[in-house]
Structure 1
């Protein structure tokens, strides 16, 4: 009986451990969807007059209002703690939604930052305050716009879904990340961007494997 019990433990424990960790991987493999089908930004145009879209891209989205000069700290934090780590990914983009009146200031702002950042990967898009509010409201977050500005930045996936946390130990749900807080960007947002990038990489590998098997 003792031998049987020992053998059972030896065989059962690895299986139970594997099931536990496999379950954990599945639970954490995807960043939760908090809002489905947010409004696209395809009705807005960038500095060159081109259309920009969330489709097929993992987008970091900011609504930084008119006074960009006052937001150098926010943008620098975001660039250093998040953006510069992921510029190499072709399906990753940084979109800043601004009112039309900020167009010229945005151009100067981008040129000024070009010496310390890969600003060619930044997409400034412009629209009316009404259109900006409609886009922001479609995210369905507890945050509010001050005119056309909020310090919070957001993760939108390739299918137009807002991603974030639904069981954060500090805030419960995390719809957006405070660009004023280096700690929040370094810890929470950086981890979440890693998760969503890994999620899409795993999905791509699976699709490629399925095609090869077929």
Structure 2
């Protein structure tokens, strides 16, 4: 009897945990969507290596650096150590920093300073545009925060593969209302305690979706084989 109770508990507990998480607005399974179908990086914007940078198809940490690139190098260090180093192994993860034209050499200096402690810097992207273009692009996301006089902000946001802005809203697991549209790169604690978890959640979302799609393809492939075998047997019987 005791063994049966233990077995039932082991079977039921994961289901109960899943139901609890799935009913929460912000949980360890899904990261809420704050806005959908946001703006893509304009194709006429330039990058350090002249390649075209896109948000679509990537999980992106999007930042607006402004003109004080070197002065705010500590923000890049925090973001690099707390976020990029943890998730740089994912090919569909990137950091995109929007920067006013004329700061190319400063951006390259930041890359060179981070490279010795990071190694692979392929996921770090800087894009350059005019101040007016940057302001227009920023405004299109309809964020509560504002750019400063240098067209920058220490806040970064998460954009998913479908150009949806992701963050926190509604009640958390403690039942407290929260809304978080961005993460403060000045605060290592903010990045470590909240953004790390949120990036982990969205990456896991896509891994689970990929696994589900792979299973569907395997099932379809298996069903096709069974169908072909059945047809072959029927043809043999008819003969």
The TM-score range, normalised by the shorter chain, is 0.7 to 0.9
Q: Which has the larger radius of gyration?
A: 2
Structure 1: which 4+ aligned runs deviate by more than 4 Å?
A: 9-19, 168-171
* CA distance in structure 1 between the partners assigned to 2:167 and 2:51 by the alignment: 29
Q: Is the 1:42–1:51 Cα contact (8 Å) retained in structure 2?
A: no
Which of residues 213, 218, 223 in structure 2 aligns to 1:212? Answer: 218
Task: Give the aligned partner of residue 137 of structure 1.
Answer: 139
Cα deviation, residue 168, structure 1 = 6.5
Task: Give the aligned partner of residue 158 of structure 1.
Answer: 161
Unaligned runs of 5+ in 1: 1-8
TM-score (norm 2): 0.79
Q: Is the 1:156–1:162 Cα contact (8 Å) retained in structure 2?
A: yes
Task: Give the aligned partner of residue 100 of structure 2.
Answer: 99
Name the SS of the counterpart of 2:50 in structure 1.
coil
Deviations 1:172-207 (A, max 9, x none): 210000001111100110000010000000000000
Task: Give the aligned partner of residue 191 of structure 2.
Answer: 185
* CA distance in structure 1 between the partners assigned to 2:55 and 2:126 by the alignment: 13
* CA distance in structure 1 between the partners assigned to 2:65 and 2:177 by the alignment: 23
The number of residues matched between the two structures is 206
Q: Is the 2:167–2:182 Cα contact (8 Å) retained in structure 1?
A: yes
Cα deviation, residue 12, structure 1 = 9.2
Change (3 A) 1:153 1:141: same
Task: Give the aligned partner of residue 5 of structure 1.
Answer: none
Q: Is the 2:47–2:53 Cα contact (8 Å) retained in structure 1?
A: yes
Task: Give the aligned partner of residue 116 of structure 1.
Answer: 117
* CA distance in structure 1 between the partners assigned to 2:90 and 2:167 by the alignment: 20
Cα deviation, residue 120, structure 1 = 3.2
Unaligned runs of 5+ in 2: 221-239
* CA distance in structure 1 between the partners assigned to 2:140 and 2:177 by the alignment: 21
* CA distance in structure 1 between the partners assigned to 2:166 and 2:106 by the alignment: 30
Aligned-residue CA RMSD in angstroms? 2.3
Name the SS of the counterpart of 1:155 in structure 2.
strand
Deviation larger for 185-194 or 9-18:
9-18
Q: Is the 2:93–2:123 Cα contact (8 Å) retained in structure 1?
A: no
